[in-house]
A and B are shown apart, each in its own frame.
Chain A
């Protein structure tokens, strides 16, 4: 059996501030297999983005942040990796897409220039011609018409949806084993968001990229992920195949989230408690295909 692409074990995070220490993650465990799309879903402030930033090694560099637990990436212990090797993973073996595509691209440089920089991380010394050829092919994959014009453009000259596609293409440029997408498309209109997610799903499938997909939106998660982890205040409260979690949610918090989600079929919106002692109930785990003995 191969190692998972990513395995987090008993991850804990605390921030030291003026008023004392705030614990943000309380022993979070999560794993992602090769080519698997895994969602981390929960309300704002629950610890989704910090989890992503720990995987990228960004939180560990912050003063006042205390991280513990085990982080394994493709069978390597990330914390044992020398700093340079660790840095070298970013943008190559693992890459990230943020919520707001327009502001996460550098406004001062043309798309083509930024693309070449990304490609150079994976292939140092790549020639301008080779970079352009590769970027063109990637933009084509994310259904961008006239890639040459997009490469010559600045981010502000493109729509939000276009920039989001550019980000997806760049994130896949060095064939990462893991893509982390933190609330992708949240800043976009619904029709554009729906298109973008379909497209992202298709390209990660083609490239066999594993994805950690972070969202607060249950509907988006249901459409994108193979497996889902529900996070509540720094703890995973439920996880399993997306189908199972949505079809038979077992944890009171997951049930509350689902009940509170307005339906396009109507029926009104029930009033759901923001806080409830039951939301602290033990974790609910749905068996996966492999754990159920079907393992392929």
Chain B
């Protein structure tokens, strides 16, 4: 195996609140290969967002190291690192300034990251919107005029604006209707293939993860309890918590019910 693009080494994060310690992330080590989609699943409070924030440099680890492209990431990220590692959130509206047009928000990303010259940036905004399946003239619209799915496309466009290599996607489709979700998942899969992107895909939805991730890391109360290729995790989960999570997914087909029942019996 070639060197991983991202390596989390014995990563921990402890918060102190009201005098006691909250171990949000405990001793987590994962190598993420370039081009891989690694899913992080777990219930609320399991430490998914804390992990994401450490990867993005928003939170400093209490212990351990994050290596990117073979080098330890410093606590204060360089511009190049901030460009390379980008976040896509669950609720894109909170990430977009309501007073700014979509185009202005995207152009700001170019300005911040000093990409291209002034004239070139407007043209790039149009190209970027088309990359995520939106017409170029959406640049003139305010965020409020967009549907949930369109906003998520804009958020993805912004994350791609500075030739990023790794996207941290924190519940990117959780707020979307299932038809819209199917289209965003397809867009994400296409973009990953086209641009050779690496994804850290955070989700509580195991059915989504099943269909988009190469590998899955299962978190329970800050600890990674299982890490396995997606097929294996769903056909032969080893940890009882993984089995519990899969068995709780509400499903719609006979095949899924059969699979779930088999897992439940395996657990007994």
Q: CB within 8 Å of B: which residues of A? A: 43-44, 189-194, 216-220, 222-223, 246, 256-274
Contacts and interface: CB of A to CB of B under 8 A. Distances in A.
B117 interface: no
B239 to A, nearest CB: 14
Contacts of A270: 182, 186
Count chain B CB atoms within 10 A of each CB in A193, A263, A268 and give the residue with the most.
Answer: A263
Interface stretch (B80-88, B153-161, B242-250): B242-250
Is chain A's interface secondary structure helix, strand, loop, or mixed overall? loop
Contacts of B180: 274
Contact of B249 (A190, A259, A271): A190
A175 to B, nearest CB: 28
25 contacts: A43-B177, A190-B250, A191-B244, A191-B248, A217-B250, A218-B250, A219-B249, A222-B250, A222-B252, A259-B182, A262-B205, A263-B207, A263-B211, A264-B234, A265-B210, A265-B234, A265-B253, A265-B255, A267-B211, A269-B186, A270-B186, A271-B183, A272-B182, A273-B179, A274-B149
Interface of B: 43-44, 149, 177-183, 185-186, 204-208, 210-212, 230-231, 234, 244-253, 255-256, 259-260
B210 to A, nearest CB: 5
A75 B250 CA distance: 35
Given A190-B206, A190-B248, A190-B249, 13 more contacts: A43-B177, A43-B179, A189-B43, A194-B250, A222-B251, A246-B252, A258-B252, A259-B182, A261-B178, A262-B181, A264-B210, A265-B253, A267-B211
B152 to A, nearest CB: 13
Count chain A CB atoms within 10 A of each CB in B186, B205, B253, B255 and give the residue with the most.
Answer: B253
Nearest to B206: A264
B178 to A, nearest CB: 5
A277 to B, nearest CB: 15
A187 B207 CA distance: 18
Contact of B181 (A222, A246, A259, A260): A260
B211 A268 contact: yes
A44 B147 CA distance: 12
A260 B210 contact: no
A266 B234 contact: yes
Given A190-B248, A222-B250, A246-B252, A262 B177 contact: no
Contacts of A272: 179, 182-183
3 pairs of A and B residues whose beta carbons are closest in the complex: A219-B250, A189-B43, A43-B177
A271 B212 CA distance: 13
Given A263-B255, A265-B256, A190 B182 contact: no
A221 B19 CA distance: 44
A119 B210 CA distance: 46
A246 B177 CA distance: 18
Contacts of A256: 179
B210 A266 contact: yes
B205 to A, nearest CB: 8
B178 A194 contact: no
B12 to A, nearest CB: 23
B17 to A, nearest CB: 15
A290 B37 CA distance: 50
Contact of B211 (A217, A259, A269, A274): A269
